[in-house]
Amino acid sequence: MKNLAILASGNGSNFSAIAKAVKAKKIKADLKVLISDNPKAFVLKRAKKQRVKAVLIDRSLFASKATFENAVITILKENKIDLIVLAGFMRLLSKNFVRKYKNKILNIHPALLPSFKGEHAIKDAFDYAVKYTGVTVHFVDEQTDHGPIIAQAIVPIVKNDTLKSLEAKIHKIEHQIYPAAINLVLKGKLKPKGRRVV
């Protein structure tokens, strides 16, 4: 059984979807730990409810990014983590961290990459008035929202959509596509080869 860690900073709806998929054996893994950098993150309460070990590593208590990431790495090593899943983790990981866990970090982005990179992807797509946006699951590399794409799903933006309704549609798709993609990676069925995933 592979060991999974989730890194999250906020509400944690993707964390809940993944934890439920693990319990339902739709993800064949042991969800060992949730790591959060934010003491106010609601995801910490979600982890308690799901009975998943939660570790708070408050970024504000560390003098540098390197010392913060070393604390994260210590927890990952203690739990013998095979795959790291970012679920609304609002910190850019350093190149050293990404290299250390090459091809072992996944992220979900609420847009069809390479369009609408960055923190406000749903709002950016809505404000741009595109007809379609979506969700992308990808391996994390040394650039932001850039690594090889594992899966994408299209979400149409219709005339009566609001930003709130679009966010709800995006999150619904995220909760379906992310657990499925995680499971395929854990089973060794998907591996990056250049820009492609084979």
Per-residue confidence (pLDDT) for residue 176, from 0 to 100: 98
Residues with Cβ < 8 Å from 144, sequence gap 6 or more? 92, 117, 118
Domains of the chain: 2-190 (3.40.50.170)
pTM, whole model, 2 decimals?
0.96
Distance from C-alpha of 164 to C-alpha of 122, rounded to nearest angstrom = 10
Per-residue confidence (pLDDT) for residue 189, from 0 to 100: 82
Strands 83-86 and 2-8, bridge-based pairing: parallel
Give 187-191 contacts, CB < 8 A, sequence gap 24+: 187/28, 190/150, 191/103
Q: Give per-10-residue mean pLDDT for the chain (198 aa).
A: 97 98 97 98 97 97 97 98 97 96 97 97 98 98 95 97 98 98 93 90
Radius of gyration of the chain (CA): 16
Which residue, chain included where needed, has tokens 């979900």? 108
Per-residue confidence (pLDDT) for residue 7, from 0 to 100: 98
Whether 109 is a known active-site residue: answer yes
